[in-house]
Structure 1
Amino acid sequence: MLPFIRYHFDLFIDRIFGLYYNSRVEPIQKATNDLVLESAVSLARKIRKREVTSEDVVRAFIDRIKEVNPLLNAVVDQRFNEAIKEAQNLDKDIASGAILDADFAEKPFLGVPFTTKESTSVKGMSNTFGLLKRKSRKALFDAEVIEKMKDSGAILIAVTNVPQLNLWQETRNPVYGLTNNPYNITRNVGGSSGGEASIIAACGSPLGVGTDIGGSLRIPSFMCGICAHKPTCNLVSTNGLTFRTGKEKSTMVVAGPMTKYVDDIKPFLKVLVGENVHKLKLDEPVNIKNIKIYYVQDPKDPFVSPFRDEMKQLMTKVVNHFNEILPYKPELLTINEFKYGGKIWRYWMSQEPDANFNRDLADREGEISSMIELIKFCLRRSEFNIAVMLNLINGLLPSENADWAKEQTNTLHNKLMAALGTDGVLLYPSAPWPASYHHTAIFRPWNLNLFAIWNAMKFPVTQVPLGLGKEGLPVGIQVVAAPYQDHLAIAVAKELEKTFGGYVPPFKVNK
């Protein structure tokens, strides 16, 4: 009875918000330069072969941002002039012969523009985390992941919008406002890397650096129809990610690639992991027919909304595909502990290094009071939005029992490792439905459990788009592998992209 009520409650919420938003739909402008439709790998290749200049490419994406950002509000700070100058200088070096083929080999994204979320430190760029207390704050240094991207030859052009302190599944804050979905501006872009997903999907950036502690790479990528990869944890430096210093010994936080196409994930990931690349098998050939496929149709988490037919049918379609091409049938994985995903993640969030949400909200200058802030919010005197209030309420609730959480974590981890090993992947649902209307996440906050469980497990996950659903909104699934088996998840994502279409632009493309 309860799932029935919940299912129809969710439909009711969408119906009410739909009545409000339906008259506000405005289509995104069609891209006028085909360069913005290409993969980062393709653009780097064309620059290397001198078919286009870096300046051509950088200007194309800058122009595209100018076309779409007034509608999307994804980019919140930019360095367009500096990026063009960097591209011009690079083109001069290429023309003069100062840059050799060996330089291109060592710098896989030479001359290609990129973006990153505003909460990741970029020297001289906005770094507010969406907090009014940090309004007008500029970063004093480059995060290590940004240094690595620059070392790869990539040229930063802009930073993008985030929720307050990154902890919400919609991108909105009182400093920069709300970010819209390019497929339908009345819809959510997810969070916390929502600005990144929105601008990449709209072809304003070929690739971007996102971060993930509870789905922050994958939720926005699902909602905006692009690819993302959450790497095996503790391989990518966290230095410069909000308050992180990079000295944290063990954390669920990880930076990862956001791209339109699967082909860009592997070279991007190599750049981010740097000297830890030897711990992965990214250059190891993968024969899809040798991979064991497992799947979960519904993890039975009571906090997650019931799945709608569209998402159930999507998983069935994917499973049927592998059933046709593999020498053995995909196996339904039934593990009872999946239903505790949200509780497990909630416990491990409390164990994060230097974890103190109330202190972070005060910009680490003192500590806010949850009760006082909730009263101020009710009186419309708070500088924080409702997402922060829900997080504060969550912090006031009883903590998960540590012994129970550790036991469930170990049990689930062991069961998954026994199944996946070094030659298996798990197909896991991303959401009960495609991107919903703005602000409706407050009525179903725990749907993030579908993503957050993999942070708690510290498993690598590739979010892969699978075209558009019946309302013209992106759909997709998560491909999970065991730690250090990132290459398997990426390979399966590539197979799915090839079969089901992957990324589809949010506008008509001339063929």
Structure 2
Amino acid sequence: MIQADWRLLLPEGGVDPRAVVALLCGSAVVMLALRWVGQRQIQEKMDQERRTRDLSLERMEKVARQFKQQNPGIQAGHILSLPLVELAEKLKEGSLSPESVLYTYIDRALEVTREVNCVTGFMQGCEEQLREVQRQKERGLLYGVPVSIKDHIGCKGHVSTSGLVQFLGRAEEEDSVIVQVLKRQGAIPFVKTNVPQSMINYDCSNLIFGQTVNPLNHKKSPGGSSGGEGALIAGGGSVLGFGTDVAGSIRLPSSFCGLCGLKPTGNRLSTHGLASPIAGMKSVTGMIGPMARDVDSLALCMRALLCDDMFHLDPTVPPLPFNEEVYSSSVSLRIGYYDGDGYFQPSPSMRRAVQETKKLLQEAGHTLVPFTPPRIDYVVDELFTRGLFSDGAANLLDKFKGDIVDPTLKSQINCYRLPILVKKILALILKPVYPRIARDLNALCGVGSAKNLWKHHVAVAAYRTEFIAKWRKLELDVMLCPALGPAFNKGYPGKLFAASSYTNLYNVLNFPAGVVPVSAVTEADEEELKNYKGHYGDPWDKRLREAVEGAVGLPVAVQCVALPWQEELCLRFMKEVEALARERKRNVGPDDDDDDTNDLNL
């Protein structure tokens, strides 16, 4: 075999191979150096934001300590135990001072965040707001009430991070409309709370502020994306908070943490002034809403917000004041119900919660009618997933440029980053074995064109019409159905985004929906969970069983739904469910309680 000297093939004065090797090595070194510099810059931005947060927590500690020293007789335990409605009454009549309430909650919020890492910043302007409130001649419905605010809801002087490095360093120049209205009603926003990175996840972790854990069980997630709110309120560090919801982000943390939460109809409350990594997405309706310990708190909040100030500050919000007559009505209801949606098999405790609540409602004189959501696979895959990621997740992925992906989100982001052709090929391969996962992968490819986006919007409207027609045919007033739960083990929400089917249906439909805790996980539920197979027997079913394991004693909630613009009816139904669950608790002694609701403060 003849061996040629390849150097003879080079033209005279050709490239020296050693130079090529050196150039390649040099380029690699430069690329690694640039990457290192980029990582250092990212790290420095995150470190700076953490230092800002730490300084604000030190300020919280200082003002709380000073107040306690100057007012040693304050009964903090009494203040913290008061439901919002009673607290607001005592503040308005003057039997409690706004100072005592604010600094008591500042102190308690600090204790809670040290335990579960839920507060991302102290609003030092709350002390000025306290003085402003005391100067107001007319006392609003939320006079002197401390309020916690989800990270991405705009507050003047504070960064709406969304858990992303790209959003750092941009302090808001003015309050969002919702915060302005709260202040005009006498409320005192005092802390901002943690979210998962990008908020397209229902865990609660980002690399800027870290992982928030569930105050009821630190091995569990508090849910998300309003997870910081859920953890703070459940831990007793806030009496009223605000979250947002595009797939269940108010209802899931409320379910996981044993709270009441309301997702109103889109635009019943103003969303002006909120940061978003998916701004411009219109196929699925996101919304802002309240979270609290009981339904009356949510009603008081809505009563306060649905006012002339809201309608004036944001003229796009329909001027519909709170309908007191509907909320206070005692007329019996015709209630549709289902205990499983056919997409994800509910956990044993989820199904039991609906069945027990159904029985209580029947015994109270309401009419219960079986209901099956039409074409749920189509809704979740084609309307929700393809709609939420109609751009193939391009806008979302842009927000991760120059960032490091949080471990709880990696499986999601890695999937979104796959080229569309690869997603389609994988979907084709997986279809015979894992059809549900294959459909999801295919849906993540997006709609492909503006023409297809218009068609998608038409499909959403057509499904809404179909759903309402079925609702009307059965002459329903409201709907009872499961809320995803109990609380997932940390790390699992990012691997089970599609399990939000129970909540995301009502974002597609744009119906008001709320969550009410009604029970707690029992030993029997945990035992039954061992036999959980799911509808498909695919990896997602296995993960869901693993996600909810080890939850004995944790809260289990149901979801209450009404037709668009009927928030008052939704709240009235939630109030009925809450009252019946509490009555059952009172009537069942600790020794006879077969569902362990004695572990819940119902």
Scaled by the length of structure 1, the TM-score of the pair is 0.79
Alignment check: 8 A CA contact 1:429 1:477 kept:
yes
Aligned to 2:511: 459
Aligned length: 445
Give secondary structure in 1 for the equivalent of 2:183: helix
Q: Work out whether 1:436 is the aligned partner of 2:475.
A: no
CA RMSD of aligned residues (A): 3.2
Structure 1 residues 111 and 507: CA distance shift in structure 2, 3 A: farther
Counterpart of 2:30 in structure 1 is none
Please give the secondary structure, in 1, of the residue aligned with 2:375: helix
The 2-side partners of 1:385 and 1:120 are apart by 24
Give the deviation of 1:248 after TM superposition: 8.9
Q: 1:306-325 residue pairs with structure 2 within 5 A?
A: 306-325=345-364
Q: Distance in 2 between matches of 1:109 and 1:189?
A: 26
How has the CA–CA distance of structure 1 residues 417 and 217 changed in structure 2, closer, same or farther, with 3 Å as cutoff?
A: farther
- Which residue does the alignment assign to 1:83? 126
* Cα separation, partners in 2 of 1:338 and 1:250, compared to 1, 3 Å: closer
Identify the match of residue 186 of structure 2 among 133, 153, 163.
153
Query: Which residue number in structure 1 is paired with residue 274 of structure 2?
Result: 241
1:298 counterpart residue number: 340
CA displacement at 1:409 relative to structure 2? 5.6
Shift, 1:496, TM fit: 1.3
What SS does the aligned partner of 2:215 have? coil
Aligned pair in 2 of structure 1 residues 356, 311: CA closer, same or farther (>3 Å)?
A: closer
Paired letter, 1:175: I
SS at match of 1:336: coil
Q: Determine the structure 2 residue equivalent to 1:23.
A: none
Q: What's the CA shift for 1:82?
A: 3.7
For 1:290 and 1:507, locate their aligned partners in 2 and report how far apart those are by CA, in whole Å: 28
- Secondary structure of 1:284's match? helix
Equivalent-residue separation in structure 1 for 2:292 and 2:370 (angstroms)? 29
2:80 to 36, 46, 51: 36
Paired with 1:124 and 1:291, the residues of 2 have a C-alpha distance of 46
- Give the superposition deviation at 1:125: 1.7
Contact 1:239–1:246 (CA<8 Å) still a contact in 2?
Answer: no
The amino acid across from 2:374 in the alignment is: N
Q: Is the 8 A contact 2:201 2:494 kept in 1?
A: no
C-alpha contact 2:284 2:508 (8 A) present in aligned 1: no
User: What is the SS of the residue equivalent to 2:229?
Assistant: helix
Partner Cα distance (1:263, 1:508) in 2: 22
| Aligned residue number for residue 202 of structure 1 | 235
Residues 188-337 of structure 1 mapped to structure 2, 5 A cutoff: 188-243=221-276, 252-273=285-306, 274-275=310-311, 276=317, 278-279=319-320, 282-285=323-326, 286-301=328-343, 304=344, 306-326=345-365, 329-337=367-375
- Residue 387 of structure 2 corresponds to 348
Match for 1:48 among 62, 84, 92?
92
Bigger drift between 232-241 and 244-253 goes to: 244-253
Q: Distance between the aligned counterparts of 1:263 and 1:250, measured in 2?
A: 32
The structure whose Rg is larger is 2
Alignment correspondent of 2:480:
427
- Give the 3-state SS of the residue equivalent to 1:427 in structure 2: strand
Q: Determine helix, strand or coil for the equivalent of 2:324.
A: coil
Structure 1 CA distance for aligned equivalents of residues 360 and 553 of structure 2:
22
Inter-partner Cα distance in structure 1 for 2:469 and 2:303: 24
1:460 & 1:180 partners in 2: Cα distance? Answer: 28
In the alignment, the residues of structure 1 paired with residue 273 and residue 125 of structure 2 have an alpha-carbon distance, to the nearest angstrom, of 22
Gaps of 5+ in 2: 1-74, 312-316, 424-441, 523-551, 586-596
Partners of 1:132 and 1:415 in 2: CA distance: 41
SS of 1:307 mapped into structure 2: coil
How far, CA to CA, are the matches of 1:67 and 1:143 in structure 2? 28
Stretch of structure 1 that moved more, 156-165 or 441-450:
441-450
Amino acid at match of 1:494: K
Unpaired runs of at least 5, structure 1: 1-30, 374-380
Secondary structure, aligned partner of 2:299: helix
Provide closer, same or farther for how the CA distance between residues 117 and 357 of structure 1 changes in structure 2, counting only shifts above 3 A.
Answer: farther
For 1:449, give the aligned amino acid: S
Once the two structures are superposed, residues 62-83 of structure 1 have per-residue CA deviations (whole angstroms, 9 ceiling, x without a partner) of: 010121211110001002x542
Looking at both structures, which has the greater relative contact order when contacts are Cα pairs under 8 Å and sequence separation is at least 6?
1
Partner of residue 64, structure 2: none
The alpha-carbon deviation at position 32 of structure 1 amounts to 5.4
